[in-house]
Amino acid sequence: MFYASGPICSTCQSFLSAYLQATIYDARSEHVLAPNFASLNASANSGCSLCQIVRQYCLYQWSNTLLLSNEHQITLAISNAHQDFLRQMSRSNPNIYNEVANVTAYRRPMMDVGLENNWSVGVLLGREYSPYCFGRLEVASPKPISHLLSTEYAEQSIYSDKGIAVVAAQAKNWLNICCKDHETCAGFTAIGGHESKKIIPTRLIDVGNDEQGQPAKLHIVSEDDGTDIEYLTLSYAWGPVTDFPKTTKSNLQGMMTRLPWSKLPRTIQDAIVFTRAMGIKYLWVDALCILQAKGPRDQAHKADWRHEAARFGHYYQNSVLTLAATGSSSSDQGLFLTRLGLSVPKEPLTYQEMSSSGSVNEVVIRPAPPEWHKEIKHSPLLQRGWAIQERYLSKRILHFTSNCVLWECDRLRATEADPSGSQMELIRRTPDGDPGFISIFRGNKDDNSEVQLGWRSFIESYAGTLFSYPSDRLPALSGIAESMKHRIGGNYIAGLWENSIHQDLCWMATEPFSESFQKVHTLPSWSWATVGKHVSFLPLTSPEVQVKSWKLKNNGADTSGQVSGAKLRLHGRFKELNLSDLGLRPNPDPDVIDNVLKVDHSTHARREQPCAYLDTTVTRDISLQNHPCLLIGTGRHNRSSQRLDCYEGCALILEATGKRRGRFEEFRRIGFIAYIPWFDSEMPIKERTIDLI
């Protein structure tokens, strides 16, 4: 006999019954709730309260792309990992064990939600809220659940005058707190330092005032405006919709009179409306504030773009606030998105069941709030390369996602559901709560080696972000590169740093290539930016190559990324290698698009097998050819199975261009080879000086 405070399906009833019968000493058990997300969604729409809560949880935990593929079953599990979880948390803060233990009660096992093998932190249990309750903890706290979700958050559609007013009021509150209390945010100068002249936009949008009949229009910034002019910036993805009005040399005067409102994409319209709601007069949007191309021979656009591209970082750094369309993949989707996760019961689900002894067992399952770091992790916008720099260089960001609005500055990460940021404070104290390179970039670390290590870690993910124009990959990094140059000194050479160039050359393309893959041939072959895929850097322990000289041609400053030519003159140990002699073979499946040559483990017994990562897709006969290779040095590879470090040779795979300058032959890079038994071979090794383009 059972009681549920809301309707539940038979599958959920069976699971809840099993949950109440389980003890904290039982082994983990798993129960399939739905074969895929579409099935879960159908059950939730039919009224099952637990399916609705789990659906909401899935929307908050995983990307829509993963969920809507409908290839993964949804699983509920009964587990008991409370003590292990607390011990993990206590590693970063010994006091946290007692803090959490004081507000938790372990009368029941934990309840997890899984997407096949992708297990997440589990469902929230208990009637009440605690700042230490995130994930699977069952809690007992005097604070009511209303502390977590406001009425406006739970019920108000953001796409209404009232909804916009509610969000704008919260944003103003965050902004006031930041301006008043956050010294590090007020003093944040990623580019140029405190003594440099403040750079402000050439053009801004005057957002006007609908009530007073003042239309939005373009404004040319003059000396009369002063350098303290207040404006917001917009970070967004153009997406496939590119035929909307843009500013060109020929329509500039018309745009200064009135913007063609009805033809503007929804995201730009929303940004203008929200800027008005914030009480700010000006907004910067790239499509309207930079002269766009009217044709391939539009010299005015090219000159304006070169001028403005080098200043983008300053524009974001000096704005009051950046509005980010973080949940949108296209400019026609807008800032104010439909919040699918709010389609849940307003009250927790209470389930009771009478035991054989006549006692009543109970479990309470309540809707979860959206999580700041998950909203950022799965956001469509931050898959776009330009948006990465815009985020890093902005003092403050208001992220509009599909589930809520987020605040981000150096001192506070918060959501509408958690405006004080208490959840993020707790996550920061856990081992996996470090936000990565962004904290190093915005911090004041003096250890250049740590900063450069963070840079390479950042590049590993940045290299695979999306661009409409692959040649933008370095220009979209110009502001971060300029800031890094002020931090660590030295020269910046097409994505590499002169003072760590040996290590920076040790990149390998680790992401599969697609049929539509195109290399950026205007960039030097030795720059990671040529491939447009995620890369990995092999840690270099003992460099063997010498950089004799380098040359770089830029259409702007060396950090601008507008590279028109580059060359390295290298001296090192040179050797012809036949990849098949090392046992390297392409994937035997002809339908697989791959760039990696590996050893057949069934015929080779070396502990660490050589592996070649080509900078383009593999041709069937490439392993049979001899390739000139230049030893970079000895790299370190972690053998995770034995937790030991292994040291092996690593080299650039080259091909001759057929050109030479005097006695220096010219080559280009075509790949990287790791874990080669360089010193074991009897083949002759020559020392040579070459030019690498």
Distance CA 206, CA 214 (A): 9
CB 650 within 8 A of CB 634: yes
Choose between 86 and 211: higher pLDDT: 211
Burial of 647 (0-12, 13-18, 19+ CB in 10 A): middle
CB 271 within 8 A of CB 323: yes
Residue 651 DSSP SS3: strand
Burial of 294 (0-12, 13-18, 19+ CB in 10 A): middle
pLDDT of 196: 61
Across 334-427, the runs of DSSP E, i.e. the strands, are: 349-354, 360-366, 396-400, 405-409, 413-415
The mean pLDDT value for 257-266 works out to 96
Choose between 406 and 583: higher pLDDT: 406
Choose between 437 and 106: higher pLDDT: 437
Residue 396 DSSP SS3: strand
Choose between 449 and 644: higher pLDDT: 449
CB 345 within 8 A of CB 51: no
Cβ-based neighbours of 331, under 8 Å, separated by 6 or more: 236, 237, 238, 239, 241, 244, 265, 266, 267, 268, 325
The mean pLDDT value for 433-446 works out to 69
pTM exceeding the 0.95 threshold for the entire prediction: no
pLDDT of 517: 63
pLDDT in tens, 493-512: 999 999 999 999 999 998 87
pLDDT of 339: 82
Choose between 144 and 255: higher pLDDT: 255
Distance CA 397, CA 361 (A): 46
Which residues does residue 596 pair with via DSSP β-bridges, in sequence order? 613
The mean pLDDT value for 275-282 works out to 97
For β-strands 217-220 and 282-284, DSSP reports them as unpaired
pLDDT of 399: 97
| Listed range (163-177, 243-257, 639-653) with the worst mean pLDDT | 639-653
pLDDT of 382: 92
Both structure tokens of 575: 């050797």
Using alpha carbons only, what angle is made at residue 120 by residues 119 and 123, rounded to the nearest 5 degrees?
A: 125
Distance CA 591, CA 40 (A): 34
For β-strands 282-284 and 231-235, DSSP reports them as parallel
| Listed range (349-358, 411-420, 675-684) with the worst mean pLDDT | 675-684
State the angle between helix axes of 478-488 and 448-462 in degrees (0 to 180), rounded to the nearest 10: 170
- Could you report how far apart the first and last alpha carbons of the chain are, in Å? 76
The mean pLDDT value for 401-427 works out to 83
Using alpha carbons only, what angle is made at residue 575 by residues 569 and 581, rounded to the nearest 5 degrees?
A: 140
CB 37 within 8 A of CB 58: yes
pLDDT of 632: 94
Q: Using pLDDT thresholds of 50, 70 and 90, give the confidence band for residue 156.
A: very low
Cβ-based neighbours of 200, under 8 Å, separated by 6 or more: 221, 225, 227, 229, 231, 314, 315, 318
Using alpha carbons only, what angle is made at residue 142 by residues 138 and 147, rounded to the nearest 5 degrees?
A: 90
Choose between 203 and 516: higher pLDDT: 203
Choose between 517 and 353: higher pLDDT: 353
Residue 429 pLDDT > 70, yes or no? no
Positive/negative CA dihedral, 600, 603, 608, 612: negative
Q: Which residue has the tokens 């010994």?
A: 94
Distance CA 395, CA 545 (A): 40
Percent of the chain predicted with pLDDT > 90: 42
Residue 133 pLDDT > 60, yes or no? no
Residue 519 pLDDT > 70, yes or no? yes
Fill in the amino acid letter for 155. Answer: E
How much is the mean pLDDT over the chain? 82
Both structure tokens of 76: 């509920």
Q: Using pLDDT thresholds of 50, 70 and 90, give the confidence band for residue 271.
A: very high
Indicate the domain borders of the chain. Answer: 2-147, 157-337+374-433, 448-692
Distance CA 386, CA 393 (A): 11
The mean pLDDT value for 111-122 works out to 63
Of 65, 49, 71, which is closest to residue 123 (Cα–Cα)? 49
Residue 34 dihedral angles phi and psi, to the nearest 5°: -155, 145
Q: Which residue has the tokens 């002019």?
A: 229
